[in-house]
Structure 1
Amino acid sequence: MQTPTLADTGQVSLAYEAFGSPEDPPLVLVMGVATQMLGWPDGFCQALADAGFHVVRFDNRDIGLSTHLDDLGMPDLMALLGGGATSAPYLLADMADDTAGLFDALGFDRVHLVGLSMGGMIVQEVAMRHPDRLISLTSIMSTPSANVGAPTPEAQAVLLAPSPTSAAEAAELAVNTYRVVGSPGYPLDEEWLRAMGEESFRRAIDPAGVVRQLAAILCSPDRRPGLAALTVPTLVIHGDADPLVQPEGGRATADAIPGARLVTYPGMGHDLPEPLWPELVGEIAEHARTATAEVAS
């Protein structure tokens, strides 16, 4: 585990870590709701670095060691889920601007951008708001709208589970969550999940921040009209057994973006099973290299 560095984006400070050589093309990883940068496993990040990229992962606002916007309070989650609330303290567009601000802070002119779950929603927003900053876009297990590919009742229940009050509880919560939303076609890495849960608890625990992130998802507008105008080369990855963002989300994302390519993995749920890393890293790296070649030609 590295010691994170803070980058000032102008609005918030984002904690980040880097893998690989700064001389290689930058590839930025954006994580999902309620999950710190640790959700991108070290080995997965290193595999991308070994494929020839300068890999950066970071904590979004309101999670981990990045800025927590405590003064914004906690939205009414039940009202949000019931459709009774139409506003949120911030939207996914604001988190996209955070991400673009990270590019500036790190001196990245253009990047390969990869987002998972809510991170996929954020990178879609980055592509719409800052299209000149991207060489390639990869959206993993995500959706263009909170209304498309909505979670199963069982998956939504674990997402709304009470926050842990100890590192041990956090470890068990991580395992219990991924027993529901993880990949049924692959073994569950309980040892890694427990370690991630414990370390996440030690770094920061902020239930209100998680609700603000959920509010951003639920209150952000449908991205399909904006995605239809994109020209950035786009790869969409989804598991056919994902209960948290069901496969309709991936198909809708690919359908919305001109020229996007959809890759679906049997037995993959809402996680990154280690046996699939060679294929996932290979797809992301080849997509990035192809996009780089198109820019150069």
Structure 2
Amino acid sequence: MHEHDVTSPDGTRIRGWRTDNPGPPVLLCPGLGTPPDVWPALLLPDAGVRVLSWYHRGTMGSDRPVDESRIELADHVADALAVLDAAGVRRCVVMGWSVGVMVAAELARRHPDRVSGLMFTAGVPGDLFGAMFGSFGVPAVVRRAVALGGTHALRAISPLVDAVLHRIPVNTFTATLAQHSGLMLPGADTQAVVHVLRRFVQHDWRWYFTLALAISSVPQRELHGLTCPITVLAGQYDILTSPERASKPVSMLPQARVRIVPTSHFLPLEAPDVVVDELRMLMRRAAAVERARELARPPSRDPIDALIPPALTYGSRLRT
């Protein structure tokens, strides 16, 4: 994994990261403030894809914007496009986890020409706080209010949160405790959890909660206009995004595939092989759709083609 800097359209310096594995490019829209270690299978040489990603504004090496209000969903989409442009990638499969699902979905809505396929992992394209605690049967309006109020309260006591989390020892013991907390399950490799937690707990937590609140007002998104293949992976025991809320936005789309996995919200850590298998399947689906669209495209009628009978031109495209 290699890190590098890219510049977003508003001038903010974003720390990007990529793998140099052989294979087609895939844009990964990360969970809020999460390191690459969350995706252990995608970092391996045999992953079959070249991953492109970045760290959110003000986290893990990315600068805060000069105008600190520039942390809305549109700004994260702009950062995603900057990562693609810096890598010279015009169009590819885009995947996201948790908050990254919102970014991936919005990127596809605003720039469908840049997205050939979508993978949503344990997340929703909108109404982030309303999706929390859905497994407990609490009405969405109550869940949203509790999550919003709780985040405001945590931001208010962020100096205390910093004092505790910045000093907590992260080792096999604490990682094992986290894996039995309910927020996470024991399915992940404990050492991978240690690597993730060591970087995650060092956030400036006031800024972290500010980032979360900035996108909390994004409403539910309608995805009816999306025509690319979509895969949704949902954690059966996810208390932050229930399987029902994760799958509902794509339920009416003809190109959607939904798979429920026996994991928590940390699905990429707890079921890495499932992620890779489903990603490879999605890329085959996306490639098939791209070929079909190319074949269905009307033949070019430039001056050279005008000298060739239409039937011959179209037949040549079919043979190609």
Note the alpha carbon deviations across 1:221-278, whole angstroms, 9 max, x for none.
Answer: 3212xx1111121111101110011222212232264431111112x11113656222
2:122–2:267 CA contact under 8 A, matched in 1: no
Matched, 1:30 2:29: yes
2:267 maps to 1:279: no
Q: How far 1:29 sits from its partner (Å)?
A: 1.1
Q: Which residue of 1 aligns with 2:139?
A: none
CA contact (8 A) 1:236 1:253 kept: no
Compute the TM-score of the two structures, normalised by the length of structure 2.
0.73
Equivalent residue for 2:62, pick from 58, 63, 66:
66
Pick one of 87, 90, 93 that aligns with 1:112. 93
8 A Cα contact 1:64 1:200, kept in partner: no
Counterpart residue type for residue 7 of structure 2: D
Which of the residues 169, 172, 182 maps onto 1:180? 182
Distance 1:58 1:181 in 2: 24
C-alpha displacement at 1:58, in angstroms?
Answer: 1.7
- TM-score after normalising by structure 1: 0.78
Partner of 2:197: 197
Residue 246 of structure 2 corresponds to: 250
Structure 1, unmatched stretches of 5+, are 73-87
Pick one of 144, 147, 150 that aligns with 2:132. Answer: 150
Residues in 2 aligned to 1:237 and 1:281: alpha-carbon distance in whole angstroms: 11
Question: SS of 1:104's equivalent?
Answer: helix
Higher relative contact order (CA 8 A, sep 6+): 1
Work out whether residues 16 and 83 of structure 2, in 8 Å CA contact, stay in contact via their aligned partners in 1: no
Separation (CA, whole Å) in 2 of partners of 1:118 and 1:170: 27
**Worse-superposed segment, 90-99 or 158-167:** 158-167
**Structure 2 counterpart of 1:10:** 9
Contact 2:41 2:276 (8 Å CA) reproduced: yes
Q: Does 1:134 align with 2:115?
A: yes
Alpha carbons of structure 1 residues 170 and 115: separation in structure 2 relative to 1, 3 Å: farther
Contact (CA 8 Å) 2:119, 2:279: kept in 1 or not? yes
When residues 275 and 248 of structure 1 are mapped into structure 2, their CA distance, relative to the original with a 3 A threshold, is closer
CA change 1:148–1:219 in 2 (3 A) is closer
SS at match of 2:119: strand
Amino-acid identity (%): 23
